[in-house]
């Protein structure tokens, strides 16, 4: 199984102001406006997804650095291995853009998002 960091997700009450903070203070560049949700910025090669709480996601969400996302070329195998290790799956999302996505519980209330690489 190969892994690569895909993005860091920041949840905030004001996505526009938060994106502008990283642009103004740390040299991030705007990548995309996510209509109705927020923004994607490039922080020197690290993608930051900056949104408010997302109504369509049903697992508990928090403001701040909410989760780290990784993508895998073996989604089914990765998910099976995580479950075998006793990792709790918080939510499996419907297939989107031909890929599977889920959120799993990490220590101390943190979360990881696992994204199928297509």
Domain boundaries in the chain?
A: 3-54+62-116
pLDDT in tens, the chain (118 residues): 899 999 998 888 899 999 998 898 788 999 999 998 999 999 989 999 998 888 888 988 888 777 888 899 999 999 999 999 999 999 999 998 899 999 998 876 778 899 999 8
- Other CB atoms within a 10 A radius of the CB of residue 89 amount to 14
Residue 45: is it exposed, middle or buried by C-beta count within 10 angstroms (0-12/13-18/19+)? exposed
pTM over 0.75: no
CATH superfamily of 3-54+62-116: 2,3-Dihydroxybiphenyl 1,2-Dioxygenase, domain 1 (3.10.180.10)
């Amino acid at each position: 199984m190969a892994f690569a960091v895909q993005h860091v997700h920041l949840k905030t009450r004001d996505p526009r102001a938060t994106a502008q903070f990283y642009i103004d203070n740390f040299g991030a560049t705007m990548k995309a406006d996510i209509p109705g949700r927020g923004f994607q910025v490039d922080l020197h090669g690290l993608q930051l997804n900056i949104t408010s709480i997302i109504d369509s996601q049903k697992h508990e969400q928090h403001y701040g650095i909410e989760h780290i996302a990784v993508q895998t070329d073996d989604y089914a195998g990765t998910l099976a291995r995580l479950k075998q290790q006793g990792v709790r799956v918080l939510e499996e999302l419907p297939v989107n853009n031909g890929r599977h996505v889920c959120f799993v519980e990490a220590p101390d209330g943190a979360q990881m998002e696992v994204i199928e690489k297509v």
